[in-house]
Chains A and B, each alone.
Chain A
């Protein structure tokens, strides 16, 4: 996932080619993020709004507020649960497509079946769980009809459970694609060599496939972590407002136009995400992977 190595020397054309990308990234990524950091040290005054200053008050406010801690803890809990589920699903689905489906065309077709929903609206996909999980939803009515339960299950919708279901529904694809990508590049004779050496089916997965998919797993985990950590909408809709997320605080501050504190909260979120990201990459040692 690095730029292709150089073939010839840079010229003016090269800089012209990369200029639009750089411009967009500076204008709509670098400056905004930098400003968020700056504003997080500003003061908020009722009626006046943002007042330039250098104060740590916003951060102190946040850290001394137990709600912040609860919200972050709850978000981390969701992140961990979703990470584990999407990894297990993503790994085995990719494994099935790469190593079990013999026909290449079939494998690509099934892969597309998995990816198509990614290109449709997230919000609609999220809402679509309502008629399935609701009190009068498909699952409850089916269970009632079968006589398994005599009261509708209340924890199916507007609960932590439904939040996790929606996350898994929305984000598993971000695991499948990078893992599929690294798996597809594994030389099939490596598996045969392992079988030759007496490795069992599980031994091959553990000793050969898993280590060679590390990069894909790391990328997938990175996507899932940033998406879940940065999410506000899924948790709000699917928990029915019962659970909050790290971003809920930002949302509330923005309602009161308290931009400095929202910015401080955003900076904290950013730092937490970056810490997790760097931890993932340390665990995998991407540089070593790139040597090969």
Chain B
């Protein structure tokens, strides 16, 4: 009948919890909005309210290396790194997800290794990777050791999402495709991938943002050149102008753009599906 049971008028707990929820959302977004507002100030700006002569000067300041550090350079490393992590996470966790649908020797060990990799404190891993690279005679770089450090966190997340997605993929779809004469590759291309595609976007979103915002795992592994979160960290200790907030606004806008892109593509796919193309 109806999707959810009706209880007549709403109980008082609804209003109490709705209030709690509203307060939580304010708690969640309030400070971010404060930073957003404070980043649009003029030269007489300060780090607290009220807002002084609105303007864009701190955004200009941000990308001119006079006062602040190498923000532009950090962007130029963080974005490619995040995209690389995203692509590898999707590729590796999707294929691994398929492997886990069958029972194979060592599956339990690999599964627990992935979970452990999720739990281990980032700093511990950061030290470990740095030491490993030293012994291997390699120097730490953002495209080498940092990439690996990010993957060690993004992959388990991707794997868990793929478990959830593939758990709902009935094996009889593939069997039906085989019965109808589809080759292995055709089955993957025309049946499996279209079904799990929204899940793959979710994995991509996780891969991108986990890398783009990752701090502890990057700290010792990026080498001499900072990624964006490290750059922000440095700025928190030596920059006392709203340029810091401007940087916060810029990175948040990038994050929101990525989230919006991911969510809207999922929604478009689902809608197209329910309309029956």
Q: State if A and B touch, Cβ cutoff 8 Å.
A: yes
How far is it, in angstroms, between the C-alpha of A143 and the C-alpha of B169 when the chains are bound? 55
Interface 0/1 of A100-142, CB less than 8 Å to B: 1011100000101110111111111101111110101110010
The answer to whether residues A128 and B25 also contact, given A96-B18, A270-B120 and a CB cut-off of 8 A, is no
Asked if B200 is at the interface (CB within 8 A of a chain A CB), the reply is: no
Whether A2 and B220, one on each chain, are in contact in the complex, defined by CB atoms closer than 8 angstroms, is no
With A25-B113, A96-B17, A136-B48 already in contact, the answer to whether A14 and B102 are too (CB < 8 A) is yes
The interface residues of chain A lying within 8 Å CB-to-CB of B152 are: 24-25, 28-29
* Contact B34 A121, beta carbon cutoff 8 Å: no
Which residues of A sit under 8 angstroms from B155, Cβ to Cβ? 21, 24-25
Residue of B nearest to A173 (CB): B28
Q: Cβ of A256 < 8 Å from any Cβ of B?
A: no
Query: CA of A10 to CA of B244 in the docked complex: distance in angstroms?
Result: 53
Measured CA separation A125–B29 after assembly (Å): 9
Whether the Cβ atoms of B248 and A230 lie closer than 8 Å is: no
Q: Which residue of B lies closest to A137 (CB)?
A: B48
**Assuming the A-B contacts A24-B148, A112-B263, A232-B216, are A121 and B104 also in contact, with contact meaning beta carbons closer than 8 angstroms in the complex?**
no
Query: Are the CB atoms of A6 and B123 closer together than 8 Å?
Result: no
Contact mask A1-17 → B, CB, 8 Å, 1/0?
11111111111001101
Chain B CB within 8 A of A203 CB: no
Question: How would you classify the secondary structure of chain A's contact residues: helix, strand, loop or mixed?
Answer: helix
Would you call A114 and B229 a contact (CB within 8 A)? no
The answer, yes or no, to whether B173 is at the interface (CB within 8 Å) is no
Which of B48, B93, B232 is the one whose CB lies under 8 Å from A21?
B93
Contact B127 A259 (CB under 8 A): yes
Is the contact region of chain B dominated by helix, strand, or loop, or is it mixed? helix
* Tally of chain A residues near chain B (CB < 8 A): 92
The contact of A230 among B4, B17, B122, B171, by CB within 8 Å, is: B122
Asked whether any CB of chain A lies closer than 8 Å to the CB of B131, the reply is yes
Given contacts A119-B205, A121-B252, contact A36 B124 (CB under 8 A): yes
Which B residues contact A (CB, under 8 angstroms)? 3-6, 10-11, 13-14, 17-18, 20-21, 24-25, 27-32, 34-35, 38, 47-49, 91-93, 95-96, 98-105, 107, 110-111, 113-114, 116-117, 119-125, 127-129, 131-132, 135, 148-149, 151-152, 155, 159-160, 163, 166-167, 171, 205, 209, 212-213, 215-216, 220, 228-229, 232-233, 236, 244-245, 247-248, 251-252, 255-256, 258-259, 263
Can you sample 6 A-B contacts with CB below 8 Å? Answer: A18-B110, A39-B131, A102-B4, A114-B25, A130-B47, A137-B49
Inter-chain pairs besides A21-B93, A136-B49, A226-B119, 10 sampled, C-beta below 8 Å: A22-B110, A28-B151, A35-B132, A39-B131, A121-B212, A128-B34, A128-B248, A129-B31, A131-B48, A132-B34
